[in-house]
Amino acid sequence: MSLPVPTSDALAASHALQQQIAAEIAAHDGAISFARYMELALYAPGLGYYSGGSAKLGKDGDFTTAPELTPLFGAALAHAAAAIIAQTAPQILEFGAGTGQLAYDVLSEMAVLGISIERYVIVELSGELRGRQQDKLRAFPQVEWLDALPESFEGVVLGNEVLDAMPVELVIRHPEGWQELKVTVKDGRFDYLPVPASAAVLAQIARQIPEHDSLPVGYVTEVHSVACAFMTTLSQMLTAGRGGAALLFDYGFPGHEYYFFQRATGTLMCHYRHHAHPDPFYYPGLQDITAHVDFTAMALAAQDAGAEVLGYLNQAGFLLAAGASELLLRTDPADSLRYLPQARALQKLLSPAEMGELFKVLLIGHAVSLPETLLAQDRSHRL
C-alpha cells in the first residue's frame, strides 16, 4: 500500500503496542479474538489509537466527522434535542465527543434557543481527546467528564460515529459451519487463524445474521457483540430514569442489507492520514479500525433491554427535518465567502452520494416521543 510514512516516534509507539499484543497472544495459547485485537489496537492505555497522543480528527488527522465539517450539524441536533428535553430534563450526555466541536455547537445553539442546559456530560475514553475537549469547552462550565455511562440518565444522549469504533468479531463461513477468525503471530507478523466459532459467537450469528446458513462458503463478515452490549447498557441507563432518548449517528445498514451475498469480505475498514484501506494489521495504534453498523442488531439489543425504538432515519432526512436548511439561511447567500463553504458542507452531509444516505440515525428512548417532523422521515419498518 502507498500510504504516508509514520514518524520515528509513531513507529516506536506502534512497535511497543505490537509487542504488547504479541505477548497477549502468546499468553492465550497463540491466538486472541479479533475483537480483543481491535480493542488493544484502539484502546490499549497510552498506545492504542484512541488512547495515544496523535491527532485523530480534521485535516491533520485521519478522518473528518460531520461536526468538523460545519456547525450546522450540531445546531440541527440542538433543535431535535430541544423537543426531547422539553419532555425530560435539561441534560445532555455525549459518548465519545471527538474534539468537542459537537458539544460546542449544540450548547451554542441551545443558548440561541434560550434553553439552559444544566449538565452536559461527556464520556470520553481518550485522554488526548479529553484534553482537546476541555480546551474547546472552557466557556461552558456545565460540562463535566466521566469515564463510563452512569446508571441512570434523563435527557438526551448523543453518539456520533461511536458504534463503528466498537470491537467486532470476524467470522467466516466454512463448509462445516461458521468459524471465527482469530489473530495469531505467523512469521513475525499478525495473521488470521480460523477456529470453530464458540457457542457465544454462534448465538450472536444466529441472532444477528438473517439466513446465516444460506450464505456462501468463504463469506466473511462481522458480528457486533460489544456494540450490542453497549446498546443494552445504554438502554438500561435510559429506562432507569424518568425519560430520555439517545440519538446515534453512524454509517451502516439494516441487517437485511448488511449481509448481501455480494458483500462477501465484510465491511471492516481502516483509516490512516485520510487514506482508507482494509488491512487492520498495518501499524497498530496509528490507524483507526472500524466496521459498518448493523442497525437491526442495535435496535433489537435496545428493545431486549426495555428501550423503545423511536425512529430510524437516514442522515439527510434527519437534518432536513431538524431544520438544517433554514439554519443555513441565517447566513446571507449574498455573502458568498461565508455562505458557500457552509452550503457545500451541508450538501456533503445531505447528498445521497456522500453522507446523506450511508449515514443513519437510530433513536431509542424511554417515556418520550419524537416531534412529527422527525416521525415523518422514520424508516423503522426497514430494520
**pLDDT digit string, tens, across residues 111-159:** 999 999 999 999 998 888 899 999 999 999 999 999 999 999 999 999 9
Q: Is the pLDDT of residue 2 over 80?
A: no
CATH number (3.30.720.110, 1.10.3720.10, 3.40.50.880, 3.40.50.12710) of 66-166+226-257+292-382 reads 3.40.50.12710
**pLDDT digit string, tens, across residues 252-279:** 999 999 999 999 999 999 998 878 999 9
**CA separation for the pair 345, 73 (Å, rounded):** 10
**CA separation for the pair 267, 280 (Å, rounded):** 12
Going by their DSSP bridges, the two strands 220-223 and 189-196 should be labelled as unpaired
**CA separation for the pair 2, 4 (Å, rounded):** 7
State the cell numbers at 195.
477456529
Helix (H) or strand (E) holding 345: helix 336-350
Of residues 64, 189, 43, the one with CA closest to residue 128: 43
Give residue limits of the domains in the chain. Answer: 66-166+226-257+292-382
**CA separation for the pair 298, 361 (Å, rounded):** 11
Comparing 50 with 178, the larger pLDDT belongs to 178
Cell 456547525 sits on residue: 71
Q: Is the pLDDT of residue 1 over 80?
A: no
Q: How does residue 56 score in pLDDT terms, banded at 50, 70 and 90?
A: low
Helix (H) or strand (E) holding 313: strand 308-314
- H helices within 178-323, ranges in order? 199-208, 225-239, 255-258, 295-304, 315-321
Q: Sign of torsion, CA 15 20 21 23? A: positive
> Whole-model pTM?
0.95
Going by their DSSP bridges, the two strands 91-95 and 155-160 should be labelled as parallel
Range scoring the smallest mean pLDDT among 44-53, 68-77, 137-146, 307-316:
44-53
Of residues 111, 69, 120, the one with CA closest to residue 91: 120
C-beta separation of 236 from 303 below 8 A? no
What are the DSSP calls for 254-284, one per residue? -HHHHT-TT-TB-S-EEEETTEEES-TTSST
